[in-house]
Amino acid sequence: MGSLKLRNRFVMAPMTRNFSPGGIPSEGVAGYYRRRAEADVGLIITEGVGVDHPSAVGRETMGGGASPVLHGEETLARWREIVAGVHEAGGLIIPQLWHQGVIRVPGTGYHPDAPSARPSGVWGPIDKAMVPPEYLELVREPTAPLTDSEIGDIIAAFVRSAVNAKAVGFDGVALHGAHGYLIDSFLWRHTNMREDRWGGGAAERAGFAAALVRAIRSATGPDFPIIFRFSQWKLQDYDARNAETPGELEAMLAPLVAAGIDVFDASTRIFTTPAFEGADMGLAGWIRRLTGKPTIAVGGVGLSKDLQSSFAQPTVMTDNLSLVADRMAQGEFDLIAVGRALLMDPQWVSKMRHGGEVKPFRLDAYATLD
């Protein structure tokens, strides 16, 4: 992957855990990641980490509010320990840089007074949201659209956090460009109606993401891997689409490739879902074909098919790795990310490899840091 060699193709998907009060990862976070590295995970992508900007993270969408950040002496010292622990165990670890953008609840987070960061001031259509009505009430009111200079400040904040990531030893950075958060809100036509250089057609709406990638690339050098997470679905609308056709997808991702992305992470809820009509191929397959870049697929690995479509509901563990292997062999994607199965069982990858009973799915696991 770029300049990195992974020991296998299993990636831990980014999962917000809320065990970092004040933005500083708590003691337990180091063990949590280290256990996965000790049990054969090839690459860990951390939970979303707030970038160094006051508007980056607010209260969590569905409760919580203790996401980590990547600045400040104490925080960086803690990350250094976490990274060292993963490396000692033979793993690799990359932080997911996160700015919640339109999804952040105004007046919350480590800097409650920070104004909202929204491309066009709007949260998006409010009739399809997959979030509780109480939450919707807090975000539905339009705010002032970002100014050009505020956009510049946010790009500089991403760069500072990426530079800090490199300084503490992380193996690259992953940009959270999915699920309706800031970067995705520039990509989506329903949250980006700008008529300046940050808005327009598919390629123009990718201008913010491309500017971010160029700035990070230039500050971190040619060999520091940059992963970009892209999704069609968002918290505003599970059926949303940034790109209606493969042609539109190609136009949107080309500026990112030109800016220096190494790997695309195609976030889907079920990795086998066809991305466009007329072909069986999932989103990761299309992105790989259209960009020529390595891709990560995700969604439903290790979980039973019929229940896997909701994150908030219980599901059942299963072994569907032959489906993953088949599609990988056909060249659909290069890496496979595993979220909930690895949250439930730190040893999931090693048990799939060597045998051993996988821990059952438990909703209460979300509240602990096993």
Ligand X SMILES: Cc1cc2nc3c(=O)[nH]c(=O)nc-3n(C[C@H](O)[C@H](O)[C@H](O)COP(=O)(O)O)c2cc1C
Residues at the site binding ligand X, with contacts judged by CB under 6 A: 13-16, 47-48, 96, 176, 178, 229, 267, 298-301, 303, 308, 311, 338-341, 366
Nearest residue (CB) to ligand X, 217 versus 229? 229
Nearest distance in Å: CB 209, ligand X: 15
**230 to 149, 253, 266, 363: CA distances (angstroms):** 25, 9, 5, 26
Sequence-ordered strand ranges (E) for 183-287 = 226-234, 263-267
How far is 37 from 285, CA to CA, in rounded Å?
27
Closest residue to ligand X in the complex (CB): 339
Nearest distance in Å: CB 148, ligand X: 27
Q: Are strands 263-267 and 173-179 parallel, antiparallel or unpaired?
A: unpaired
**370 to 23, 281, 337, 356, 365: CA distances (angstroms):** 20, 35, 19, 18, 8
Nearest residue (CB) to ligand X, 103 versus 338? 338
Nearest distance in Å: CB 301, ligand X: 5
User: Which residue type is seen at 93?
Assistant: I
238 carries an active-site annotation = no
Candidate list 32, 33, 135, 181, residue with the active-site label = 181
Nearest residue (CB) to ligand X, 147 versus 310? 310
Nearest residue (CB) to ligand X, 150 versus 353? 353
Nearest distance in Å: CB 196, ligand X: 28
- Mapping DSSP onto H, E and C, the string for 8-71 reads CCEEECCCCCCCCHHHCCCHHHHHHHHHHHHCCCCEEEEEEEECCCCCCCCCCCCCCCCCCECC
Residues with a catalytic annotation lie at 181
